[in-house]
Amino acid sequence: MCKTMIRLISISILLIIASRESFSNSRTVVGNEFYDTWATTSSVVNPKRQVIEISLDGGRWIKRDNQGIEEVFIINRNDISIDDDILKVDYKDPKKEFRLKLILGGWAIGKNKNIFGTVYMYQDRGNGLSLFNGLPISFKNGTPKVIPKTFLSFFSPSKTQRVNSGFISKLEEDLAKVNGISITDSSDAKEYYLKELEAAISITKQGNPAHPSAIGIRLLTSSPGSISTIAKFEGDEAAFKKYYKAYLDNFDKQKIEALREIREVLEERDTENDDH
């Protein structure tokens, strides 16, 4: 595994992680901070792209499929409640015996806010609620971005899996077409980084014992400084597992190094301020 490749390609992710760990200015989202536009960053609920608009006058729950087609649900003001650091949204479908309850809390750094929790699903036939499911969901504040389907599909399901022959080459073709993609080349792999998703996908080259395979790294909004990794391979499983372990070990080392460098900069800045 090429250290330079990880250093150059995933440096943005590393710096974000290190910055979140270095600066102790994160805070809990409370009260009026929940009044905002929230777009999903992770969702088991379909469709994956959902937006919730919360205001003093009420809100909207918007579901957007991969073709950009939207389904909009109106949330009444009385169905939104904020209890200090907890947001509750109670949606009742007027046309169906169906009810959703969102229970969310979160953290913020500066103007960037992330909330996460559970969406509870009920049958409501007028004789009491009947809970039949509860699924995790997380949101980030701001205008929702259209995340390329290529990235969405790669990171779901979030597990290591063997894929059919030709999957990796097709993935690489699709990634090269994504707007805003940053591509870095090394001797044994090529890495594709998408800043708006804070995610990178590394694809092996011919000559790499683990080829063809791909490793994805994505920041988790629900846990500052944490990452989610996913891997897909076509060839020899033992060779791939060895490569995957080396990749993650090297990533961890680079994360520690980036964190150390940021701390050194902060210490130098503090020393200069003391001198003045």
Q: How far apart are CA 15 and CA 27, in angstroms?
A: 20
Q: Which helix (H) or strand (E) holds 134?
A: strand 129-141
Distances (CA, A) of 16 to 106, 180, 194: 18, 18, 13
Q: Which of 67, 93, 82 is nearest to 30 (CA)?
A: 82
| 49-55 vs 58-64, strand pairing mode | antiparallel
**How far apart are alpha carbons 46 and 112 in whole angstroms?**
25
Question: For residue 51, what are the β-bridge partners?
Answer: 39, 62
Tell me the C-alpha to C-alpha distance, in Å, between residue 262 and each of 11, 21, 145: 12, 10, 29
Q: Which residues of the chain have pLDDT under 50?
A: 1-9, 22-23
pLDDT attached to residue 8:
44
Tens digit of each residue's pLDDT (9 = 90 or more) over 174-195 = 998 887 788 888 888 998 988 7
Structural domain boundaries in the chain: 3-22+148-275, 37-141
Q: Tell me the pLDDT tens digit for each residue of 74-105.
A: 999 999 999 999 999 998 877 778 888 999 99
pTM: 0.55
Which CATH architecture group holds 37-141?
Beta Barrel (2.40)
